[in-house]
């Protein structure tokens, strides 16, 4: 029998080593995954997206629940001014917990139009005998006489939520704005009511809508809400 040269033996040994490594790789790990493939560790989660409110559930008659979630853009506005017009206290005042729907009255203030925009203050007034707080955005929805929602849920304008402490009889307001549909060309409807849901609550308050037509579909149909500030917005 002919003897193989040292170089031939080394080549054969290298080939067999590669074959063994390939076999081990194909066999995978004990958990059934292929060795070297990405592994998902227990307890990890994918990045969250969208608004991150404390309560994203819908309130009665399709009014979205209010909350302290961030805006739907990447912009950030400055914190609300410390000036008050309704006797409420901005900032981290010591209240008796958040205000519940049953302790509040909702109203819509006078329109302050400008540059093709309609701007209404949505006002919550503490009707209870205790001090309580509101923070963040209200939920809102326009509805017709049968309670059917008109148009999509309002969007949240950029803003920095601040806790507003309401003593009995005092108020906080959030801005509700939209483009005038006669100027923007959006499809419009005249609501019967506006449903307002206080921050982190599920039950809504019904306010008779006297502001005329609102955009409900098409271009420039977005309705926006701002964070609550102390006062009545006038």
What domain range includes position 126?
A: 87-230
CATH, residue 110: 2.60.40
The pLDDT of 88-95, averaged and rounded, is 51
Write the CA distances from 145 to 53, 115, 142, 204, 207, integer angstroms: 29, 30, 10, 16, 12
pLDDT digits (tens, 9 = 90+) for 154-203: 999 999 999 999 999 999 999 999 999 999 999 999 999 999 999 999 99
Q: Give 105's strand partners.
A: 125
The DSSP symbol for 100 reads: P
Classify residue 3: in a domain, yes or no: no
Roughly how many angstroms between the first and final C-alpha of the chain, as a whole number?
107
Is residue 221 a part of any domain in this protein? yes
Is residue 64 predicted with pLDDT exceeding 80?
no
CA pair distance 229, 26, nearest whole angstrom:
63
- Between CA 184 and CA 191, with CA 187 as vertex, the angle to 5 degrees is 110
pLDDT-derived band at 234 (thresholds 50, 70, 90) equals confident
The pairing of beta strand 171-179 with beta strand 117-126? antiparallel
DSSP-assigned letter for residue 60:
G
d(CA 124, CA 169): 10
Report the distance separating Cα 133 and Cα 172, nearest Å. Answer: 9
Which tens digits make up the pLDDT trace of 3-55? 555 554 544 444 444 444 443 334 444 444 444 444 433 332 333 223 333 33
pLDDT in the model for residue 28: 40
Count of domains observed in the chain = 1
In which element (H, E) is residue 184 found? helix 181-184
Confidence of residue 70 (pLDDT cuts 50, 70, 90): low
How many angstroms separate the CA atoms of 59 and 65, rounded? 5
Whole-number Å distance between alpha carbons of 143 and 197? 14
- Indicate whether 129 belongs to any domain: yes
Residue 66 within any structural domain of the chain: no
Q: With respect to residue 114, please indicate whether it lies within any of the assigned structural domains.
A: yes
d(CA 123, CA 138): 10
Model confidence band, residue 66 (pLDDT cutoffs 50, 70, 90): confident
Mean of per-residue pLDDT scores for the chain: 74
Q: What percent of the chain has pLDDT over 90?
A: 56
Element of type H or E holding 165: strand 164-166
Q: Cα separation of 23 and 44, whole Å?
A: 31
Separation between Cα atoms, residue 229 and residue 160, nearest integer Å: 10
Q: Is 151 domain-assigned?
A: yes
**6 domain-assigned:** no
φ/ψ region of 62 (left if φ > 0, alpha if ψ in -120 to 50, else beta) reads left
Q: How confident is the model at residue 96 (pLDDT cuts 50, 70, 90)?
A: confident
Residue 186 within any structural domain of the chain: yes
pLDDT higher at 234 or 136? 136
Average pLDDT, integer, range 77-82: 33
Check: CB of residue 151 under 8 Å from CB of residue 187: no
Q: What is the rounded distance in angstroms from the CA atom of residue 130 to the CA atom of residue 120?
A: 27
The per-residue pLDDT for 25 is 39
Of the candidates 55, 58, 51, which has an alpha carbon nearest to the alpha carbon of residue 73? 51
């Amino acid at each position: 029998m002919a003897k193989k040269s040292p170089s031939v033996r080394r080549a054969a040994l290298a080939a067999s080593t590669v074959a063994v490594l390939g076999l081990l790789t194909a066999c995978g790990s004990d958990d059934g995954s292929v060795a070297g493939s990405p592994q998902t560790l227990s307890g990890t989660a994918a990045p969250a997206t969208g608004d991150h409110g404390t309560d994203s559930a819908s309130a009665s008659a399709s009014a979205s629940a209010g909350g302290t979630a961030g805006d739907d853009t990447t912009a950030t506005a400055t914190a609300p001014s410390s000036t008050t017009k309704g006797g409420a206290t901005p900032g981290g005042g010591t209240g008796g917990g958040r205000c519940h729907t049953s302790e509040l009255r909702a109203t819509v203030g006078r329109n302050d139009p400008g540059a093709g925009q309609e701007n209404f203050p949505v006002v919550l007034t503490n009707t209870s005998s205790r001090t309580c707080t509101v923070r963040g955005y209200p939920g809102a929805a326009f509805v017709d006489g049968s309670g059917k929602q008109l148009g999509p849920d309002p969007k949240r304008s950029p803003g920095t939520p601040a806790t507003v402490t309401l003593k009995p009889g005092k108020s906080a307001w959030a801005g509700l704005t939209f483009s005038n549909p006669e100027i923007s060309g959006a499809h419009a409807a005249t609501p019967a009511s506006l449903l307002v849901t206080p921050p982190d609550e599920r039950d809504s308050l019904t306010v008779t809508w006297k502001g005329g037509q609102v955009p409900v579909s098409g271009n420039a149909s977005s309705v926006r809400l701002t964070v609550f500030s102390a006062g009545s917005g006038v």
